[in-house]
Structure formats: structure tokens, C-alpha cells
Structure 1
Amino acid sequence: MVSYISKVAFKTVPRLSAKVTLPVFKSYLPNYILWSGAWVLGLGVYTEGWPLFQQTFYKHIPVFGKHWDPVLDPEDLPN
């Protein structure tokens, strides 16, 4: 004989239903900082060769902005 389930059995997950408190957020803060920094650096590596990003963002970086200024030899300049 086949037995049927008359109703669905639900279980609550206490971690997902709990509110995010300040101590919990503080414990995850180093991970958030690490992964967001990695995301920004990855985006920078991916967009470093795009001229639009070079002119808009990278040339305005105070110390490293000169890296994206083109340096041409005098022989290569048009007359």
C-alpha cells in the first residue's frame, strides 16, 4: 500500500530569519572589505586598457596618472 503525506512539513532556519545585528556585521566586515577590494582591483585590471576609462578615471589619479599619458618620440610625431 502507498502512504501519502497529508501536509508539508516546514522547518524554520533560525540564522536566515534572524535580524542582522551590529556584532554580526562587525564579524563579517573584514570579509566585505577584502572581497570588495578584490572586486575593485579586478575591475581596474580589466578596464586598464580601455581609452575611455584611461581618460575618465586613470589619468586623474594623483601619483600614478602620468602612467597613462602617451610618450611619443619626436620621430613619431606628425609634421
Structure 2
Amino acid sequence: MASANKINSRVRECRFFANEMTQQELAERVGVTRQTIMAIEKGKYSPSLEVAFKIALVFNKPLEDVFTYEPNVE
């Protein structure tokens, strides 16, 4: 069985280097719930493109510095 495509997140690392921003603080700035941020960090949820861009903007980083995409290679 082939593995699914995966979006990897460096959100937790970005929060740490942003004066240890909390999940709640990031969630409020992006307009999502803390649970959404938690799920993104754990790799259980891939954010929409809009949310991904908003998260990158909070940290003043290019999208590809916060999220990477691993295509399913067979």
C-alpha cells in the first residue's frame, strides 16, 4: 500500500524562536483554534493554503521555511 503525500510543519520550531509564542497566541493571530494549531504541529492536519500563508506571515518567513511537502514517490 502506498503512503500518502505529507506536509511537514516547522510551526512548533517557529513558535519557540518567536519568544516561545503559545499555540493559543498563534491561533488568535491566524484566526483558527488552538486545537487546529496543535493538529498541524502533530502532522494530523494539513492546513489550507490560506492558513499556511497566514502562519508564515506571523513569523515573517517564506511559506517554504515553515511548511515542506513530501510527495508520494513510488
TM-score normalised by the chain length of structure 1 = 0.25
Greater CA radius of gyration, 1 or 2? 1
TM-score (normalizing by structure 2): 0.26
Larger strand proportion of the pair: 2
